Amino acid sequence: MDKHINGKKFLNSGSYFQLLKLEKDPDVLEYIEDTVSTCTEYVKRVDMMETQLITARFRMDQERYQEFIMDIDAQRRRCHNDAIASMGFLNRTAQSHGLDPIFTGDQADRYQVADFCLELTNAIFENRKR
């Protein structure tokens, strides 16, 4: 799970959690929630895709399997594109509060955005109330 590009992490969790404390506008908070959901949905799609690829191979003929792969990959790509589009909003919102960027990578690098989504999902899971 800690396999990142050149060992670099792309989530500034301090800025993220500080932003949640500082932001007072309910519309902005809702958009932050939507942005986080976009990232967690992408992680979910990758997980589902990898699991389905393993099992579908044994349930489908070759032609149906190829169609299935194209379909679930398109779903994953849509989620990924949504996550990429959200990075700028998160950083602009953090910076409007004088915080460092939340996403510390290159928005044009799909792998960095993917790693960020996983890091954010893990940070939320690790910081949940028990």
Tokens of 40: 């967690």
Note the pLDDT of residue 129.
77
Q: Does 5 score more than 70 pLDDT?
A: no
**pLDDT beyond 80 at 4:** no
Q: CA-to-CA distance for 16 and 120, rounded, in angstroms?
A: 9
Strand partners, 103: 11
Contact 52, 86 (CB under 8 A): no
Contact 80, 74 (CB under 8 A): no
Buried b (16+ CB within 10 A) or exposed e, 61-73: eeeeeeebbeebe
Nearest to 102 by CA among 81, 112, 44: 112
Could you give the 3-state DSSP secondary structure of residue 25? Answer: coil
User: What are 7-51's pLDDT values in tens digits?
Assistant: 789 999 999 999 999 999 999 999 999 999 999 999 999 999 999
pLDDT value at residue 6: 67
Q: Domains of the chain (ranges plus CATH)?
A: 24-126 (1.10.287.800)
Please count the other Cβ atoms lying within 10 Å of the Cβ belonging to residue 107.
15
Helix axes 26-59, 13-22, angle to 10 degrees: 130
pLDDT in tens, 56-114: 988 999 999 999 999 999 999 999 999 999 999 999 999 999 999 999 999 999 999 99
